Structure 1
């Protein structure tokens, strides 16, 4: 009796852990052990939103000046919608002048001083200037309180579920004294995942942002009697203390409550990564910890071509068409499909078609489905959001136009389909009688 029991125990000890490891439920390999000395962190591939590394990524912490990424987004959005212009003049009010005199990061704005939106934007994006930031917020929305409402609304739309904004700058409410928003119900909070979501939205919609964030030095009020040299707080930029090849953004942050934070981005060999560290111990350590993630990401991942534009996905070559002159239409990949793949896993990932039934009329190039990227176990990797997983493989589009069928032809089609179903049913019944 003892021998079978011992064999059973041996099976449990040695084979069950292996089986559990194999059946992970996701295609990606086990997460790397990077031993980061931070409160939370995450790294994603920027195009797809695929998560390459994560640590405590869903817990919300004070983000400090990483808050300004949302302010940057809303300024760029207002520019695109022509609600603002880069050369629009902004006159500094008492709030801007108050922060200009504070000991926080700023460009020493004075009451009634006038600057363009572009000058203030550069001061915010390069030097994290709090005084410039609030003036931009008020210019976009009329008041910081209204701007904060817009920040939180946009965060919700992006799927940032662990985020709350109380200020446009990331400063604690106490530092704003009489200028603090009366409607604020708490301090700024954001998770590492949400910071990555915000960074991805910024880079996807407004990639021109990087032309500003990659500037290491710039002079504010250049050519005047009060010039101020702005050194970028992102010391991973080329020529700065912790320079890292390929890094061109994005936003640092620091308060006593937040510790030292950094949302970074960089590109090498066609791979763009977004990293977030929150709660690092020192000014420089946030860059050291970021380097560990970037080293891992750039060393191990490359963008692998999985499908050419115009190609068909096996098993999803045709989309069914309702009420069309043709009952089907060829479904083609709308773009080249590139996917971040770890070294050694080049043959693991395959495109899988998710074809929709569509109703005529169909235009050439109209969306008729999507492409999902799955691993050898048929499962998808982990992404920032469901929407990122849906978009990672791109869309399927109709190869040809399909016109809507006339009512007479549709009636005949329905009639003969009905007759066909009857004879098919009779055939099955007769076959059943003699089987």
Structure 2
């Protein structure tokens, strides 16, 4: 393994803990990252949630029909819980019917008071972004759209997304809902979130319910085939197989367009066994250049797959030889060396190798005594602190709040407690040494 640059923090007081380092807006060493034609953009590694590109990804913007990923998540939850099945019959309310009849919006024709299987309504949502079908699903799951919005709000907050606005299940402007708006909201309100927020939604959806890809990857499907209401649903994700911007490996996830949000798209694809999530927001208006969001996503996917590579920066059980061993009090050994508890692996941008990664060791003061020592006996593999990794002097960025760029630091061997007379001798030495220091 290549030698790592090291920053060693082996001191034994709070003053020697590693200070927090502000996270950059653009992931470190990504100067060659493309700046795509979108107001916000984000690339995230699916497995680790490591951010590979951040273009204004904290800014709050309209999310339009990307909202429907939250409806999908709750739908899968309810099916998993056994509360409904794909064969559940859903009766179309007057509200869902009215929305479905607005063909300026994305819709499939629904008949008021008639029943449809939940699965076909879901397919209309996932493939064709059908708004009336989405309302019908929400009413089935929660009793009403406002009650479903409450569930959606609880869900995103449970994932740590605290900055958002959610007023309806479709992502439409409230002005398009025929007066059926969330209590306390206005007709001007529309759903809002950051690219990081919507990527968090996508990440949870894909991790918890990967079966969503079975439907999101369908290029086209006929709704109500064999009836007078039959309609060809062509997937709005034009990067799927056989569509205008086909890209191998793309299998999801959700587009969205409103005048307020512009053209948005949460994409996902797999290449060489690695999946990434991309988000573009405000990629034009979705009308004058309907390809803009997909061209931008194509650039993001090229970058995410081609310009980042996995690298092991420290193997499991690597002894931190350049870090001072921790002092052991009342032990048969006076000190113990520290090692990594697990292998540390990260994606690194092109031109950055494992040798460019630095690490810092920070002791856990809660396991140390007042003198900053470990108290014997000590077991091998006992956790004593953390090892934090960064490259080019900056922390690695992640989608969630968890600290992914750290591994536990543990003791490299066991240290037995010294015998009684040895401990007494140490006590006398410490005591009289302290007296001498006073005079």
Question: Could you tell me the TM-score, scaled by structure 1's length?
Answer: 0.76
- Counterpart selection for 2:317 from 312, 316, 324: 312
Partner of 2:431: 425
Gaps of 5+ in 1: 1-22, 321-327, 359-363, 401-408
CA deviations 1:327-347 (Å, max 9, x no partner) are x9x98757x654211122121
Distance 1:414 1:107 in 2: 83
Partner of 1:275: 278
Correspondence 1:349 to 2:352 = no
Distance 1:117 1:332 in 2: 50
CA deviations 1:57-108 (Å, max 9, x no partner) are 2221211101111111222222233333333221111121112211211221
Cα distance, 1:31 vs structure 2? 3.6
Correspondence 1:386 to 2:401 = yes
Partner of 1:9: none
Distance 1:126 1:116 in 2: 16
Distance 1:419 1:142 in 2: 75
Cα distance, 1:232 vs structure 2? 0.8
Asked if 2 retains the 8 angstrom alpha-carbon contact of 1:92 and 1:113, the reply is yes
Cα distance, 1:300 vs structure 2? 0.6
Structure 1 residues 370 and 138 mapped into 2: Cα distance closer, same or farther (>3 Å)? farther
Question: What is the RMSD of the two structures over their aligned residues, measured on CA atoms?
Answer: 4.1
- Counterpart selection for 2:295 from 270, 277, 288: 288
SS of the aligned residue for 2:212 comes to helix
Structure in which a larger fraction of residues adopt helix: 1
Partner of 1:298: 305
Highest RCO, 1 vs 2 (Cα 8 Å, sep ≥ 6): 2
Correspondence 1:133 to 2:138 = no
SS of the aligned residue for 1:120 comes to helix
Asked if 1 retains the 8 angstrom alpha-carbon contact of 2:43 and 2:53, the reply is yes
Cα distance, 1:160 vs structure 2? 2.2
SS of the aligned residue for 1:267 comes to strand
Cα distance, 1:418 vs structure 2? 8.4
Correspondence 1:205 to 2:212 = no
Structure 1 residues 339 and 226 mapped into 2: Cα distance closer, same or farther (>3 Å)? same
Structure 1 residues 376 and 262 mapped into 2: Cα distance closer, same or farther (>3 Å)? closer
Question: Could you tell me the TM-score, scaled by structure 2's length?
Answer: 0.76
Bigger Cα displacement from structure 2, 249-258 vs 202-211: 202-211
Structure 1 residues 421 and 57 mapped into 2: Cα distance closer, same or farther (>3 Å)? same
- Counterpart selection for 2:257 from 254, 258, 266: 254
Gaps of 5+ in 2: 1-20, 328-335, 368-379
Partner of 1:11: none
Alignment length (residue pairs): 392
Cα distance, 1:33 vs structure 2? 5.2
Distance 2:408 2:185 in 1: 41
- Counting only pairs closer than 5 Å after superposition, residues 8-27 of structure 1 correspond to structure 2 as none
Bigger Cα displacement from structure 2, 38-47 vs 138-147: 38-47
Cα distance, 1:428 vs structure 2? 4.9
Partner of 1:375: 391
CA deviations 1:103-153 (Å, max 9, x no partner) are 211221111222232222222111111111111211221111011112122
